[in-house]
């Protein structure tokens, strides 16, 4: 699989923060994140390194294990950065929240992800 910025953004949504299985989640983190990567969460702080990203992804997924992330537009790329807008919620129900992930990519892996929460689309 190609590690384009768009691919990495989508894998972060689905294979990391959307993954319930801890073994598959950790394998994805090891594959798509640099060892020194940073995840910035406006509600939870800054998480540095794969172990911390794994820990916070586990906490987030455990708080709503049935939620799925759904991109609401195609990821956008510019140079070594990109963004994807998404909604999340239980299947078959209206989305519970929305956000935008911005990522910086270095040598085909995520160096940083910045999460911003958005208003739910109308």
Judge if pTM exceeds 0.85.
yes
Parallel, antiparallel, or unpaired: how do β-strands 33-41 and 109-118 relate?
parallel
| 23-31 contact pairs (CB < 8 A, 24+) | 25/54, 25/57, 25/58, 25/61, 26/54, 29/53, 29/54, 29/57
Maximal C-alpha separation, the chain:
38
CATH number at residue 42: 3.10.450.50
At 4, is the pLDDT very low, low, confident or very high (cuts 50, 70, 90)?
very high
- pLDDT the model gives residue 19: 97
Tell me the average pLDDT across 48-63: 97
What residues make up the domain containing 70? 5-118
Tell me the average pLDDT across 68-94: 96
CA dihedral 107, 111, 117, 119 (to 10 degrees): -10
- pLDDT the model gives residue 121: 81
Structural domains in the chain (count): 1
In whole angstroms, give the CA distance from residue 93 to residue 115: 23
**Contact assessment for residue 32 and residue 47, using Cβ atoms and an 8 Å cutoff:** no
- The chain-wide mean pLDDT, for the chain, equals 96
- pLDDT the model gives residue 122: 76
């Amino acid at each position: 699989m190609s590690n384009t910025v768009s691919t990495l953004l989508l894998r972060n949504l689905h294979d990391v923060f959307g993954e319930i299985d801890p073994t598959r989640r950790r394998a994805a983190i090891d594959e798509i994140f640099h060892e020194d990567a940073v995840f910035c969460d406006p509600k939870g702080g800054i998480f540095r390194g794969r172990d911390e990203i794994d820990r916070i992804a586990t906490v987030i997924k455990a708080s709503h294990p049935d939620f799925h992330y759904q991109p609401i537009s195609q990821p956008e790329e510019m140079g070594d950065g990109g963004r994807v807008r998404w909604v999340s919620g239980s299947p078959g129900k209206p989305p519970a929240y929305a956000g935008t992930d911005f990522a910086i990519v270095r040598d085909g892996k995520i160096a940083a992800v910045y999460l911003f929460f958005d208003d739910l689309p109308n």
